[in-house]
């Protein structure tokens, strides 16, 4: 369940309420949690310190394969690491995680973009079955740089 500091964005091919019976089971789900500093007193403003992302790929795994990225610096691209498959020994990169760079030779990227309109989570990657790769580019969430108690600190684009 989303709270005021945590929101979820879904890729355009996400099937709400029902997964497919065969791969690809579903699309991509990105959950963002905004972290703010602890106020010194009641009149202090809480400033954003970082945004934690869980990027879950449901292409080949009905339960999703998650990668985690913490964005702490604006206008810096962070790579989306391929999670390890710990069900094998020794562990290896999880082949059910399909997110790649847009040129398919690199890892996918995400950034906390600061511009005159505000602070946004910006994504740049491809995902999905090899013969059906989809490209995701652009701003998916707006993040408030300061937090006021009881207000939404994240706005998901398209909602």
Can you give the pLDDT at residue 10?
A: 94
Can you give the pLDDT at residue 2?
A: 45
- On whether the CB atoms of residues 35 and 48 are closer than 8 A, the answer is yes
Can you give the pLDDT at residue 1?
A: 34
- On whether the CB atoms of residues 82 and 107 are closer than 8 A, the answer is yes
Is the predicted pLDDT of residue 56 greater than 50, yes or no?
A: yes
* CB neighbour list of residue 27: distance below 8 Å, 6 or more residues apart: 10, 11, 12, 13, 14, 15, 58, 59, 127, 128, 134
Phi, psi of 82, deg, nearest 5: -80, 120
Q: Which residue has the higher pLDDT, 133 or 41?
A: 133
CA atoms within a 13 Å half-sphere pointing along the CA-CB vector of 23: 17
- On whether the CB atoms of residues 108 and 101 are closer than 8 A, the answer is yes
pLDDT digits (tens, 9 = 90+) for 85-125: 988 999 999 999 999 999 866 899 999 999 999 999 999 99
| Run of H or E including 55 | strand 46-57
Looking at every residue in the chain, the average pLDDT score rounds to 90
Q: How confident is the model at residue 70 (pLDDT cuts 50, 70, 90)?
A: very high
- On whether the CB atoms of residues 156 and 141 are closer than 8 A, the answer is yes
How far is residue 56's CA from residue 72's CA, in Å, rounded to a whole number? Answer: 20
């Amino acid at each position: 369940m989303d709270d005021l500091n945590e929101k979820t964005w879904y890729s355009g091919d996400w099937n709400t309420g029902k997964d497919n019976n065969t791969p690809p089971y579903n699309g991509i789900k990105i959950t963002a949690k905004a972290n703010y500093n602890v106020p010194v007193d009641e009149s202090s403003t809480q400033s954003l310190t970082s945004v934690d992302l869980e990027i879950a790929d449901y292409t080949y795994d009905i339960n999703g394969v998650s990668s985690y990225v913490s964005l702490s610096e604006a206008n810096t691209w962070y790579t989306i690491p391929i999670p390890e498959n710990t069900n094998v020994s020794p562990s290896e990169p999880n082949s059910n995680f399909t997110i790649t760079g847009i040129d398919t030779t690199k890892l996918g990227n995400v950034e906390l973009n600061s511009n005159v309109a505000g602070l946004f989570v910006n994504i740049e990657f491809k995902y999905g079955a090899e013969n059906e790769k989809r490209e995701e580019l652009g701003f998916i969430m707006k993040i408030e740089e300061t937090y006021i108690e009881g207000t939404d600190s994240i706005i998901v684009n398209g909602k």
